[in-house]
Chain A
Amino acid sequence: MRYWRAAEPKRSYDVVVVGGGGHGLATAYYLARNHHVTDVCVVEKGWLGGGNTARNTTIIRSNYLWDESAAIYEHSLKLWETLEDDLGFDLSFSQRGVLNLAHDLQDVRASRRRVNANALNGVDAEWLTPAEVARFCPIVNVSPAVRYPVLGATLQRRGGIARHDRVAWGFATAADRLGVDIVEHAEVTGFARAPGGRVTGVHTTRGTIAAGGVALVAAGHTSVLAAMVGLRLPLQSHPLQALVSVLLEPVLGCVVMSNAVHVYVSQADKGELVMGAGIDAHNSYTQRGSFHVIEQQMAAALELFPVFAHAKLLRTWGGIVDVCPDASPIIGPTPIEGLYLNCGWGTGGFKATPGSGWVLAETIAKGAPSALAAPFALERFTSGALIDEHGAAAVAH
Chain B
Amino acid sequence: MLLLPCPWCGPRDEVEFAYGGQAGIAYPADPDALDDAAWGEYLFMRDNPKGRFAERWYHVHGCRRWFDVERDTASNDLLGA
Contacts and interface: CB of A to CB of B under 8 A. Distances in A.
Interface of A: 221, 223-224, 227, 232-237, 281-286, 290-292, 325, 381-384
Given A281-B19, A285-B73, A381-B40, A292 B14 contact: yes
A381 B48 contact: no
A161 to B, nearest CB: 30
A282 to B, nearest CB: 5
Interface of B: 1-2, 14-15, 18-19, 21, 36-37, 40-41, 43-46, 48-50, 53, 55, 71, 73-76
Nearest to B19: A281
B44 A227 contact: no
18 contacts: A223-B49, A224-B48, A227-B49, A234-B45, A234-B46, A236-B48, A237-B50, A282-B2, A282-B19, A283-B21, A286-B73, A286-B74, A290-B2, A292-B1, A292-B14, A325-B44, A381-B44, A384-B40
A234 B46 CA distance: 6
Which secondary structure dominates where chain A touches chain B?
loop
A283 B57 CA distance: 12
B2 A384 contact: no
A286 B53 CA distance: 14
B49 to A, nearest CB: 7
A284 B37 CA distance: 27
B48 A237 contact: yes
Contact of B1 (A223, A290, A383): A290
Given A227-B49, A232-B45, A284-B76, 18 more contacts: A223-B49, A223-B50, A224-B49, A224-B50, A233-B48, A236-B21, A237-B73, A281-B19, A282-B2, A282-B71, A283-B21, A283-B48, A284-B73, A291-B1, A325-B43, A325-B44, A381-B40, A384-B40
Contacts of B18: 281
Nearest to B44: A234
B55 A221 contact: no
A283 B36 contact: no
B75 A286 contact: yes
